[in-house]
Amino acid sequence: MATGATLLISAILALSCFHAIASDPSPLQDFCAVDKMSKVRVNGFPCKDAKDVVAEDFFFSGLQLAGNTTNKQGSAVTPVNVAQIAGLNTLGISLARIDYAPYGLNPLHTHPRATEILIVLEGSLYVGFVTSNPDNKLFTKVLNKGDVFVFPEGLVHFQFNYGTSKAVALAGLSSQNPGVITVANAVFGSKPSISDDILAKAFQVDMNTIDHIQAQF
């Protein structure tokens, strides 16, 4: 009996621990605005003294402004996360505005720490994500103004403005610090670069092809 109870308690503890590490930790206080001066290193950011916290710690201005989409991809992301709003620390939520030029692409990327929910405010987008191994199944959808789509945490996804006018979207993310890994940049634009023979073998092409792709990043 004692062993059975111990096992049960262990299982419950294991489950609750798993829950705790499966997403950003839940706050144990009203807020934990980032103390930018702190020399303490923790998983996340240390809190500033609550008596020094002000309304500005919860405030951001400027999301009505379009990002500059004059770049190779024709898109611009304006993030509003813990880097912009100190008071978002520990709260497990953030926001981004995404602007797309005609035929602009928000290229293949993943958020290692967040699920994303995106709403189209203007224009139309062709969006998609790919499931993990072994299926690597592609889910896609054409979104028009007012349509909402979800990109599950960690999965590679994209948005493409296939139209001749600009598009605008707003995304909510389930982390104050969602992170971004842009696939092409991480693979072909790492510093220092991953060696040609590794990439050639991984992508099953010759090294000249790899050099050509690397030169774009």
Close Cβ partners of 154 (under 8 Å, ≥ 6 residues apart): 110, 111, 112, 132
Nearer to ligand NAG, 16 or 70 (CB): 70
For residue 71, say whether it is annotated as part of any ligand binding site. no
Residue with tokens 């111990």: 6
Closest among 192, 175, 184 to 212, alpha carbons compared = 184
Nearer to ligand NAG, 70 or 133 (CB): 70
CA 119/CA 145 separation, integer angstroms: 8
For residue 106, say whether it is annotated as part of any ligand binding site. yes
CA 158/CA 147 separation, integer angstroms: 16
- Structure token digits, residue 163: 């139209």
CB of 100 to ligand NAG, least distance (A): 14
CB of 114 to ligand NAG, least distance (A): 27
For residue 109, say whether it is annotated as part of any ligand binding site. yes
Interface residues with ligand NAG (CB under 6 A) are 68, 70
Nearer to ligand NAG, 10 or 68 (CB): 68
Residue with tokens 């054409």: 142
Q: Helix 207-214 vs helix 196-203: angle between axes, to the nearest 10 degrees?
A: 110
Residue number closest to ligand NAG, CB atom: 68
CB of 18 to ligand NAG, least distance (A): 44
CA 102/CA 69 separation, integer angstroms: 10
For residue 111, say whether it is annotated as part of any ligand binding site. yes
Nearer to ligand NAG, 70 or 164 (CB): 70
Report the binding-site residues for Mn(2+): 109, 111, 116, 157
